[in-house]
Amino acid sequence: MKKLFILFLIAVSTATMAQTDCNYTVENTEDGNELKTTEDYMMYEKVFGGSSQFIFFSLTNSGGTPLLNFQLLSKSKDFPQLYCLDKTSKIHIQLTNGNVVTLINALDNQCAGLVYDNSEKNNIRILSSTFLFTKGSLEELEKSTITFIRVKYTTETVDYPIRRELNSETMKKQYFPEKYFINYLKCMQ
């Protein structure tokens, strides 16, 4: 009986630690609807020399429709490369089960804005957009981990390898990007 109780405690504590918190920002729109958005989550980080590049995802529930918010942030002493998105832009997500899920850009043309950080003497480009999930993609993303993200920008396509574990040099935080959708899609229900 004692062994059974100990096994039960271990199982409960493991399940509790494996759960992901659904922290939201809630925004009320003009028509009275609520937009629930998860916190930004780092999916990719590349720091090389004096430049760095980051990709962040968050999820929004807009009247029952799940949306992926995409943000590309580039910092450099020089001018970071300019990326733009248009109606033909897509995000392709390769899963470990071999399937590829495609998300479609929901917004019109937008290009990364340029901001100067006077304290660190960096030029910063920020590109943000919202992507729609295609039919059947949510079910696929809930079942399998991510290995690769391919973003089709307006003028080029860029591949971003996804790590199992990401210990961010910049944010001083640990992320698990390959399980992002497995852990956070439940927050949109």
Query: Are the CB atoms for 96 and 138 separated by under 8 Å?
Result: no
Nearest to 65, CA basis, from 112, 130, 155, 145: 130
Q: What percent of the chain has pLDDT over 70?
A: 86
- pLDDT surpassing 70 at residue 39: yes
Residue 131's pLDDT is 97
- pLDDT surpassing 90 at residue 49: no
**How sure is the predictor about 116, in pLDDT bands with cuts at 50, 70 and 90?**
very high
Residue 20's pLDDT is 60
Residue 5's pLDDT is 32
Average pLDDT over residues 101-122: 94
- pLDDT surpassing 90 at residue 152: yes
pTM of the model: 0.85
